A = this chain, B = another copy of it.
């Protein structure tokens, strides 16, 4: 019954949003269409099936259509919160830095809700480490080969270098910002919702 494959970035994005508030499918689409989350597609053919999968995984619960409307709202369940936390607190790998940098940023954005300060710092330390390593690889490549390239190839490469440098600098700034943060609500993950008499999916 439960999907056996790993969840997609879109599914985790939905999870992260639902962690902050319950939403309907339509609201989620609007969010993807109108806010800086527009990075994701707002196509119904992506979002509604993704929500169904999340329900099938028992990570979110869907309300019954309310008030004569067909509108249903989705909210995170304890299992979903656990899955979100597992995703957020994964170690930062070189693999992810190269092939999926955007989902790293997404993970960090959601950490404030569901991760501890220690976990946030661990993320940033890993991010800094991997970005530094990757930057070194790129610089060596640049030094060895860029001379023979056409102008635009070299400039495009330097575009990539500059982005990596910016990311590295950001990680350091962010570490300082988090390090200086007072212990507060971000201190440790919010306790999971107490299981009710019956969590109906």
Contacts and interface: CB of A to CB of B under 8 A. Distances in A.
A156 B105 contact: yes
- The SS class assigned to the A binding surface is helix
A110 interface: yes
A29 B111 CA distance: 36
Contacts of A151: 112, 177-178, 181, 186
Interface stretch (A50-58, A70-78, A79-87, A163-171): A163-171
Contacts of A155: 108, 170, 174, 177-178
Nearest to A16: B153
Interface stretch (A7-15, A35-43, A61-69): A35-43
A98 B38 contact: yes
A53 B185 CA distance: 54
A156 B158 CA distance: 23
Contacts of A181: 151
B39 A98 contact: yes
B157 A109 contact: yes
Interface of A: 35-36, 38-39, 98-99, 105-106, 108-113, 115, 120, 138, 141, 149-153, 155-160, 162-163, 165-167, 169-170, 174, 177-178, 181, 186
